Structure formats: structure tokens, C-alpha cells
Structure 1
Amino acid sequence: MSYKSVDLYPCNPATTRGESTKLSAHKDKIAYTNGRTVIIRDLKASLFNPSSVIANSGHVQSATVARISPTGYYCASADASGTVRIWDLVGEDQTVKSEYKVISGRIKDLAWDGESKRIIAVGEGRDKFGHAFMVDSGSSTGEIIGHSKVVNAVAIRHQRPFRAATGGDDNTIVFHQGVPFKYDKAIKTHTKFVQDIKYASSGDQFVSVGSDAKIFLYDGKTGDTLAEITDSPHTGTINAVSWSPDDKSLLTSSADRTVKLWDAESRKLLTSWTLGTTVEHQQVGNVWTDGGDIVSLSVSGDLNVFDKRVDDKPARILRGPAKSISAAVPTSTNNTFIAGLSDGRVLSFSGSEYDYVEGVGHKSLVSGLVMAPDGKVYSAGYDDLLKEISPNGSSFVPATYSTEGQPKSLAIASDSTIFIAEPDRVEAIRSNQKVHELKTKYVPTAVGASGSIVAIGGEDQKVHLHDWDGKTLKEVATLENNKGAISALAFSPDGSLLVAGDSSGKVVLYDVKERKLVTGRWSFHSGRILSLAWTADGQHVASSALDTHVYIWSIKFPLRNISIKNAAAGGVNVVFWVDGQKKLAGTGADGVVRTWDITFHA
């Protein structure tokens, strides 16, 4: 058995309301972060062309900002611990060139110089808020001083003589001469937090924006204030600003839910786009690619791509998971699936793009998704609701069911009865009506169903088998070979076999009819089993765990397996088969869905 990495479906940027999210671009590629993962995607390529996406999960802490070097050969990414990693973009290995701990807290922005030799990183620190260093050696190349609070943004002039500007929560911009970089003067134009600073590609000017909704232009060499743009101003915090490739225009994105395009010379408004009326439409980041794509980021995680010739709405919206995927289920069409997120959102993937499942969704983590024989999909969330999704995955059906407790796991029987594992019971629901309730002496943690057999796993480390007659659950057997609380259950397609994963990382295979152990030797995982998935022929089963690994086990040859190590940073929450049994998909904490072609040898 062997595997080959194939398609990769990227997540969208992670955002925080009220904070600027840094996006960057090189040619047609944009770079951003989500969790420990750095995403680089080509906007001109097919949206989900696997060769157009890079996902690098090398950070130990949450990544905060990523910027591609001017040469395009390297990416510098920073994280919440104050570490900067410089890694190779040429080749598939993404080899780390160097790694430095530069400040004692979260890095909020970084910038390359025009020669791709020096970097300035800024953010939260105890002894200093920024550091300038050489890429090759890590040695200091000046001092970033003059701020008394967190520094939010930095920009470097790419032409000699080098200059740098930093802006922070002390409402101050500090102008540095270089190299080596040294304090020149403090600029007090803003009256509230400075959120973003950008140099024009020519180096003649730089621009700053802030929480006071103001935009200022400065001389790129001297730091002298040139002007304030006051035409049709924003009414909320401006979180991001970018220059057009030709330096003739400016792009600003604001918490007032608008994106504005300005003429840099006349300082007049050219175009304004209003994204919506809700908090989710607040704009927290932007970037203008060399290829002419104008991109602004909503706090919901949506990447809005604009055409400056169209002033009423984005030309396209790139949707995707902005939070971790906590549940997923493949649909009847190849390469399509529905995914539930930790923030309660549910998305459908059509094979080429993501879209939201419309309607009133969940308010908190989606804990389970199952598909009924008729193609309907049901979701359960930590908001104690069971919801139905239309067969095409486009919208929620208005009818809901309120559970007695917090749903931990879902399963569906052949008669379309849904079983919900809750802290002290299992509920049986059909047509949004409770038809049975089983109160347990143990804490149910997982549930599975096949035909008229329902398996309930508990914190007692046992699997309880029940017969379901359409009205009542009757316990008929107890399986006791697991070594931890049962965390995942899955029946084979024909219902003859059952796999049970537990909190110790062990996967146990049972014969359902004989109610006995088949093998208990699948114990290669080192963390809690989070998901189990059978191939369509029932000959192989995939497991994923908190240890970030995926294993594929053989029923015919129990000692054989395929190991996919480090499949997702932070743990692989879900595995599922798409395209029959040829392709395995795995996803988790970073929201990236990775797929592998699996070859089964005789």
C-alpha cells in the first residue's frame, strides 16, 4: 500500500475583530496565516489547482504574518512566540533557511528590505517592540526604538538609502534611517492606534492609516508629512492600506464595512465598495497584487476580489474555512463534501469552490454531520441543536430539534433515525421528533449505527451494542478491548465489522455478528483517535488522531498499514473518503483539506 499527496483545498485567513490582519503579495500570489499554517495561493491559477497552493505548517505557535521576499525565492513567517522562520519557496520540500527568536511576544508585522537580505519584525515585547536583523546570520542590523506600546506595522523603503517606518498603539509613527537602522524622529499625525503602513514601490512616499479613520502621506526619504486625504473619509477604523503596482492609487479597508480606492496624486476618492451591513462585513486587511487583483479581507474570513471598473460589488468572493473544521461528511457526488467549523458555520464544497450553507446555522462548534439514505444531511452543534441541510447542501431547512444535552456524536440508522450521544443519554430522533431516549449509567462519548445495530461508546472504555426495533434500544452485548474512553466508532459498509478508536490512540476491530475481537494491534497512534472512515469495499479503514497522523489499516492483512505523518497541524479532526475509495481527505485545526491518492497492493 502507498499514498501520494494530491489536491489541497486551502483555508481562508484567520481574523480577529478590531485587529488588522496582514496580507501580502508577490506577483499573483498572496500569503496569509491561519493557526500554525502559512498559506500561499496563486489568484490567477484555477482556484483549487493543487500546484497553485502552498501550505506550510512548520510553526510551533500560531503564525501571525507571512511575507514573500522581493526575489520570490523565500517566505518569512512569524508567530505568537516571537519567532521568525525563513523558508524556501523553490521546490516541494520548503526547506527552512533559518529561524530566529527576535522578540519576546507576538509578532504583528514584518518587512523585507529591497535586497532580500534584511528583515524588521515588530509586535508585542517586554524589552523591545521590534528587531532588525540579517536573514543569513540573524545578527542585528540596527535598533527599532521610539515606541512605548505594541507596534502594529512596519514598512521598509526598497531603494537605497534605506528607510523604515513603524506604527503602533502609542498613536506614533517612528521614522528610521538605515542601514543600520536607527531612530530619526517620531511622527504624531494620528490621534489613535496606527494600524498599517506601506511604502510605494518607488520609495518616494509612504502612507499610514489608523483607528482615527485618517490617511496620511509622507515623503519616503525624509519622513516629512505631505498631506492628509480627507475626501469622503471612512467612518471607522482603517485596518489596512495598499499601493497599486504603479503607485498611482491607494486601497484602504475599514471597519465601517467599506473598501475605498483613492488617486494618490490628487488625493480624491475614485471608487467605494460597501460590503454589507453586519459585523461580518467589517474589513480587516487588504493587498493589491502585481497582477492587478484588488483583495480585501472581511472579518468573516472572506477574500473579496474587486474589479476597479465595477463599483457595486466584488467581482468574486473566495470563501473557505477561517476556523478549524470539526466535522465533515462526503456527499453523493465525487470530490464534494460538507464541512462544519468550530465557529458554527457550515460550508459545502462543490468540487471547485466553497460556499456557505445558507440559512440560520449553528452558533457554536459543529460536533457532528451525517448523511441519511435519502441524501439529506444532518448537523449537530454545541448550541444543543440538530439541524437538517437540504440534499444539495445549499441551505438549512427551517425545522430544528433541541437536544436535552450537548451533542457529542451523531449516527443514522437505515430507517433514518438519528442517534445523538449526549453527556448522560442517547436520544433517537426521527422527523424532528424524539422517538426514544436511553439514559445510561456511563457517559456516552461516541455513537455508530448500521442497519438495526447501534453501538454506543463511553468513558467506561466499553462499546455497548444495541438492537434497534424502531422504538427501543435494547443492549445485547458489551465489547471491552479498548484501553481508553471511546472517541470514535464506525461500522463497515455491510455492517459486519466495527472499529472503535479511543483516547489512548488505540484502534480496535470487532466482529459484530460474533461480538468478538478481530484485532487489537492497531495501536500506532500516540493521541486520541478523532475520526474513522471505511473504504466502500470494506477492506480498509482510515484513522486520524490528535497526534497529527493518519493511518490506513488493512482488514485482510492486519499487520500492514499506510502511515501519513504530520497530516494536519494541531491534529486531524476528520478523515473521509471521496471518489469512492481512491482518494482520502483529511482536515483539522488549520481548516486546510488535504487529499491523498491511495494505492492498495494485493
Structure 2
Amino acid sequence: MSYKKTFTFPASPTTERGSSTKLSSHKEKVVYTSGKTVIVRNLKNPGLTTTYGGHIQNATVARISPSGYYCASADAVGNVRIWDVVGEEQILKGEYRALSGKINDLAWDGESKRIIAVGDGRDKFGHAFMADTGSSTGEIIGHSKSINAVAIRHQRPFKAVTAGDDSGIVFHAGVPFKYDKTIKTHSKFVQDVKFSPSGDHFVSVGSDYKVFLYDGKTGETVAEITDSPHKGSIFAASWSADSRSVVTSAADCTVKLWDAETRKAVTTWTVGSGVDYHQIGNTWNDDINIVSLSLTGDLSVFDPRVGDKPTQVYSAPQKAVNSIIATKDQSTFIAGTADGRVYSYSVADGRSSVLGGQGHPAFLTGIAAASSDVAYSIGYDDHVREIDTKSDSYLPAAVKTASQPKSIAAAADGTVFVSEVDVVEAFRSNQKVAELKPKYTPSAVAASGSTVAVGAENNKTYLYNWTGSDFTEIGTLEANTAPISVLDFSPDGTMIAVGDTRGKIILYNVQERKSITSHWGAHTSRVNSLSWTANSQNVASGSLDTNVYVWSVPKPIRRVAIKEASGPGGVNAVQWLNGGKDGQLVSSGADAVVRVWEVTFPAST
């Protein structure tokens, strides 16, 4: 068996209400951070999207150098990592401690040699250094509070400008960079500053709803743009490639395009209404498209040449993906996330979209398919909710559980089983039909035909016959040596794979209640997910150790190891598409990035 990665569905940027989220572009690529992951998203060719998972702490901003060879990315504790974006190795060029606190923004100079990182720190709010050695290239001073944004003029003589929570803008001469003047045009937080590509001007925007233009060489204020102003805090600004236009994104849910020469508003796009549609970041991509970021993480793409609506809206999870199930269409699947949302994915067109209807308001624990058209989900709101996978929407029906649900399974007769803190409940037609109150603590549940398996914290798995209204215990599986974390019956119902918190997977014969193999022990931490191929010959597993394995039933020692299949936090979900007939396996986890793998099976299996 062998494998290769065929596609990556990126996560959405991490956002925070009232704060600017930094996006950047390089040609057709949009660059941003999501949790600990850096996303380099190719809008023209989604198949070329890449991710970088080298940060131990949450990443905060990332920018590709003007040369296009390197990316500088920063994190919440003040580290800057510079790594190669050409090729798959992503070789680390250097790592430097720029600040003692969160880095909010960074900028390259026009020669791809120098970097300025700004943010929050105990001794300073900004640091200028060489990308290859980390040696200082001047002082970033003049602010009394955290710095929110920085920009460097790409033409000589180099200039740098910073903007902060002290309502000030500081203009620096260089190189080496040194304080030149403080500009006091804004009356509240200054959220963003950007030099035009020509270097002739720079723009600033802030929480006072104002936009100002300045001379790029001297820092003198040129004008305030007052035509058709925003009615909310302005969080981001970007220039067109010809330096003639500026785009701004604001909390009034609008994106505005301005003519920098006439200082008039050319176009206003209204994205929506309400807090979810606050526009908190933007970038001008590939000289044509404007990309603006909503608080929900949605990326709206605007073409100034056409229409008053986005040409594309990219929607994806911002939080960990906890569960994945395949849908009727062999190239589609749905995934539930840690913020309670469920997303529909299509491998055919490389798109994802959030399901409509009322879902879970908080953490989603799991999803189970009851049929090819219906699925059920559970979450920390203590409800079981029904999903129509044909229309990609939640149905109004929901039923309350007795306590917080841990695991969910669905039987062929339409019964949904939910394991909870101290009980296993059975629901049908949105009504509770039975409950099991065992002496052990349930941890996982699975169902096949009339057989229900319940994993327990005491390392055992209990088998029950489901009569349609009651549970009758029929056996116990005892080969595992750690609390059970996940269960999955083979499609033919003859076997069950049982994963535990130590990373061991035991394969049992259901009828004989005996272990078939105990060789599936390559994981080094909790097994979070299992998925069988339709022919009951192979099992995929995902673990907290970030790895995915594909196991062979006929030859238990044979396996495919997909190392570091997810970023830090591990793999939470694996799922075969079309029963594994085409070898397509999807996985995701704490980094919210969904990856599609193509696994090749030997003819004998």
C-alpha cells in the first residue's frame, strides 16, 4: 500500500471581534494564519494550496517576501519563523525572538532582506532585524502602547511607518531604521497602515472611522478622505497594484473602494448585517481581486470591474474538525467543528460551505449517518440534531439528551444511540425510546444491525442486542488495556475495531468475541477516529499523535503510515469516500485543515 496527498481544504483565518486580522497576498496566493497553522491559499488553483505547521504557539501573521522565496510568520509569544515556500520541504531559514509578547504585524523591505515585527512587549513594541542573521537594523520607538500595524516603503530611500493603540503613527527613516516623527491624525486606535506599491503615499485607517493619505517620502499628511465615510471602525486597508486605488474594510459590514487621486468613493460593497459580517481584514490579490475577511472567517472576493456582490465567498472552519462522515455523493462529505458548525465539502470542485439551519451553538462532539440522506449530530448543548445531507441544512427537529453526549452511532432501523456521562440513550423519530444505565462509565458507542457496542472507561467493550426497544447484553471484549476512545464495526458486521487512549487498536471477531489481531499498535497516543473500507478489508485510524494509519485485515502487519497528517493537536477524524473504492481518504483535526489522500491498495486486498 502507498499514498499521496491530492488536495487540501484550508481552514479560515482566526478572527477576534474588535481586532484587525492581517491578510496578505503574493500573486494569486492569499496568506493568513489559523490557529498554529499558516495557510498559503491559491485562489486560482486550489489544488496548490499549502500549509505550514512549524509554530508551537498560535500564529498571528504571515507574509511572503517580495522575492516570493520565503515566508515570515509570527506567533503570540513574539517568535518569527522564516521558511522556504518554494518546494514541499518548507526548510526553516531562521527563527528569532523579536518581542516578549504577541506580534500583531510584520513587514518585509523591498529587497527581501529586512523585517520589522510589531506588537506587544514588556521592553519594546517593535523590532527591526535582518532576515538571514537576526541582527538589528535600527530602532522602532515612539509608541506608548501596543503597535497594531507596520509597513515598509519598498523603494530607496527606505521608510517605515507603524500604527498603534496610542492613536499615533510613527514615521521612521532608514536604513538603519530610526525615529523621524509622530503623526497625530487619528483620535482612536490606528488599525492599519500600508505603503502604495509605488512608494509615493501611504494610507492609515482606524477606529475613529477615518482614512488618511500621507506622502511616502516625508510622512507629511496629504489629505483625509471624507467622501461617503464608513460608519464603523475601519480595520484594514490595501492598495491596488497601480497605486491608484485603496480598499478599506470596516465594522459597518462594508468594503469600500476609493480613488486615491480624487479621494472619492468609487464602489461600496455591503457584505451583510450584524456582528458576524464585520469586515476585519483585506488584501488585494493578483492585481484584480479584492479579498475581505468577515468575523466568521468567510473570505469574500470582489472584482471592481463587475457587480455589487462578491464573485466568490470561501467558507471554512475556524475551529478544530471533530467528526467527518461521507454523504451519498461519492465526492462529498460533511464535517462538524468545535464551534458547533457543520460544513459540506466537495472534492470535485474544491469548495466548502457551512450548513444552513439551526445547528449547535457550541462544541460539536460527533456526527453519525442514519441513511444516505440523513445524519445526526451531538454537541455540548446536550441535543441531538438532524441533518438533511441532500439540502446541506439542519432540520428543525432536535431532542435533548439526559447529560453531555460523548459519542453517537446510528442503526439501520433509524435508531440513534448516544453515549453520555453515565447512560446510553436510544432515540428514534426525535423521541427517546430506551436507555441503558450501566455500572461502568461509557466512553464510546457503535452500532451494526441489531448489535450495539459500548466502550468503557474500564478498558472493556460491551456488546448488546438491540431489540428495537431494549438492550440485552450478549458479550464483552477485554483485550484492550486502556480506556476505550472509539469503536467502529466493519461494514459486513463480522468485526469491530476498538481504539483506546494509549494508541492501541484491537480487531475483534464479533460473533466469537475474540481478538483477531493486536498488532495495530503504531499510534503513540489516543486513537480518535476509525473508518472502514466498504469491502471490510482495510481500516483507517487517526490519532492525537498527528498520524494516520491504514491497516490491512488480511495482512495485519502491513500498514500505510501517513506521518504528521495534521498539525499540532492531532487527527480527530478520518473517513473513506465512496467506501474507499477509489482509495480516497479524508482526514482533519485540531488545525481545521481537511486533507484528501489517495491510498493505493495491493491487488490482494
What interval of TM-score do these two structures reach, taking the shorter chain for normalisation?
over 0.9
Structure 2 equivalent of residue 575 of structure 1: 574
Structure 2 equivalent of residue 598 of structure 1: 599
Structure 2 equivalent of residue 88 of structure 1: 84
Q: Deviations over 1:441-465 (max 9, x none)?
A: 2221110000111001121221111
- Matched position secondary structure for 1:580: helix
Please give the residue correspondences for 1:423-462 in structure 2 after superposition, counting only pairs within 5 Å. 423-462=421-460
Structure 1: distance between partners of 2:134 and 2:538: 49
Structure 1 equivalent of residue 381 of structure 2: 383
The answer to whether the 8 A contact 2:81-2:92 is kept is: yes
The answer to whether the 8 A contact 1:302-1:320 is kept is: yes
Structure 1: distance between partners of 2:35 and 2:565: 15
- Matched position secondary structure for 1:313: coil
Structure 1: distance between partners of 2:315 and 2:496: 36
- Amino acid across the alignment from 2:329: T
Please give the residue correspondences for 1:149-188 in structure 2 after superposition, counting only pairs within 5 Å. 149-188=145-184
Pairing 1:349–2:345 present: yes
Cα distance, 1:215 vs structure 2: 0.9
- Matched position secondary structure for 2:405: coil
The answer to whether the 8 A contact 2:288-2:304 is kept is: no
Structure 2 equivalent of residue 304 of structure 1: 300
- Amino acid across the alignment from 2:591: D
Structure 1 equivalent of residue 18 of structure 2: 18
The answer to whether the 8 A contact 2:539-2:550 is kept is: yes
Q: Deviations over 1:195-228 (max 9, x none)?
A: 1110001111111111111111111111111111
Structure 1: distance between partners of 2:85 and 2:23: 17
Structure 1: distance between partners of 2:84 and 2:578: 33
Structure 2 equivalent of residue 75 of structure 1: 71
Cα distance, 1:310 vs structure 2: 4.1
The answer to whether the 8 A contact 2:326-2:578 is kept is: no
1:336/1:10 CA distance change after superposition, 3 Å: same
Structure 2 equivalent of residue 496 of structure 1: 494
- Matched position secondary structure for 2:276: helix
Among residues 128, 131, 140, which one is paired with 2:127 in the alignment? 131
Pairing 1:44–2:44 present: yes
The answer to whether the 8 A contact 1:167-1:196 is kept is: yes
Cα distance, 1:33 vs structure 2: 0.9
RMSD, aligned α-carbons: 1.3
More displaced 10-residue stretch of structure 1: 489-498 or 222-231: 222-231
Q: Deviations over 1:170-199 (max 9, x none)?
A: 111111110000111111111111111100
Structure 2: distance between partners of 1:516 and 1:246: 71
Structure 1 equivalent of residue 585 of structure 2: 584
The answer to whether the 8 A contact 1:348-1:393 is kept is: no
Structure 2: distance between partners of 1:43 and 1:559: 41
- Matched position secondary structure for 1:139: coil
- Matched position secondary structure for 1:280: helix
Structure 2: distance between partners of 1:169 and 1:75: 27
Structure 2 equivalent of residue 217 of structure 1: 213
- Matched position secondary structure for 1:149: coil
The answer to whether the 8 A contact 2:233-2:250 is kept is: yes
The answer to whether the 8 A contact 1:87-1:96 is kept is: yes
- Amino acid across the alignment from 2:149: A
Cα distance, 1:393 vs structure 2: 4.3
- Amino acid across the alignment from 1:410: I
Structure 2: distance between partners of 1:391 and 1:225: 56
- Amino acid across the alignment from 2:43: L
Cα distance, 1:529 vs structure 2: 0.9
Structure 1 equivalent of residue 189 of structure 2: 193
The answer to whether the 8 A contact 1:418-1:428 is kept is: yes
Cα distance, 1:510 vs structure 2: 1.1
Structure 2 equivalent of residue 33 of structure 1: 33
> Please, which runs of 5 or more residues in structure 1 have no aligned partner?
none
The answer to whether the 8 A contact 1:197-1:241 is kept is: yes
The answer to whether the 8 A contact 2:20-2:281 is kept is: yes
Cα distance, 1:473 vs structure 2: 0.8
Structure 2: distance between partners of 1:505 and 1:380: 24
Structure 1: distance between partners of 2:541 and 2:219: 58
1:17/1:397 CA distance change after superposition, 3 Å: same
Structure 1: distance between partners of 2:346 and 2:565: 23
Structure 2: distance between partners of 1:293 and 1:10: 19
Cα distance, 1:391 vs structure 2: 3.5
More displaced 10-residue stretch of structure 1: 560-569 or 384-393: 384-393
- Amino acid across the alignment from 1:303: L
The answer to whether the 8 A contact 1:129-1:150 is kept is: yes
The answer to whether the 8 A contact 2:328-2:372 is kept is: no
> Please, which runs of 5 or more residues in structure 2 have no aligned partner?
none
Structure 1 equivalent of residue 246 of structure 2: 250
The answer to whether the 8 A contact 2:289-2:304 is kept is: no
- Amino acid across the alignment from 1:525: H
Q: Deviations over 1:259-298 (max 9, x none)?
A: 1111111111111111111211110100012331111000
More displaced 10-residue stretch of structure 1: 450-459 or 76-85: 76-85
- Amino acid across the alignment from 1:31: V
Structure 1 equivalent of residue 543 of structure 2: 545
Structure 2: distance between partners of 1:71 and 1:128: 29
The answer to whether the 8 A contact 2:530-2:539 is kept is: yes
Among residues 316, 324, 330, which one is paired with 1:328 in the alignment? 324
Q: Deviations over 1:334-363 (max 9, x none)?
A: 221011111111111133211221111110
Structure 2 equivalent of residue 481 of structure 1: 479
Q: Deviations over 1:12-51 (max 9, x none)?
A: 2121111100000111211111111111122223xx4x2x
Pairing 1:113–2:114 present: no
Structure 2: distance between partners of 1:460 and 1:139: 56
The answer to whether the 8 A contact 1:245-1:289 is kept is: no
Structure 1: distance between partners of 2:518 and 2:207: 59
The answer to whether the 8 A contact 1:492-1:498 is kept is: yes
Cα distance, 1:490 vs structure 2: 0.4
Pairing 1:287–2:283 present: yes
Q: Deviations over 1:483-535 (max 9, x none)?
A: 22211100011111111111111111111100112222322212111101111
Structure 2: distance between partners of 1:16 and 1:482: 43
More displaced 10-residue stretch of structure 1: 389-398 or 72-81: 389-398
- Matched position secondary structure for 2:373: coil
Structure 2: distance between partners of 1:2 and 1:316: 36
The answer to whether the 8 A contact 1:273-1:311 is kept is: no
- Matched position secondary structure for 1:408: strand
Task: Tell me the number of residue pairs that the alignment of Structure 1 and Structure 2 aligns.
Answer: 598
The answer to whether the 8 A contact 1:445-1:486 is kept is: yes
Cα distance, 1:374 vs structure 2: 4.7
Structure 2: distance between partners of 1:513 and 1:145: 73
More displaced 10-residue stretch of structure 1: 109-118 or 589-598: 589-598
- Matched position secondary structure for 2:491: coil
- Amino acid across the alignment from 1:572: V
- Percentage of matched positions with identical amino acids: 59
More displaced 10-residue stretch of structure 1: 221-230 or 158-167: 221-230
Structure 2: distance between partners of 1:141 and 1:573: 44
Structure 2: distance between partners of 1:401 and 1:368: 15
Q: Deviations over 1:520-551 (max 9, x none)?
A: 23222121111011111111111111111111
Cα distance, 1:94 vs structure 2: 1.6
Cα distance, 1:232 vs structure 2: 1.5
Structure 2: distance between partners of 1:31 and 1:502: 38
Structure 1: distance between partners of 2:532 and 2:496: 10
Among residues 390, 393, 416, which one is paired with 1:392 in the alignment? 390
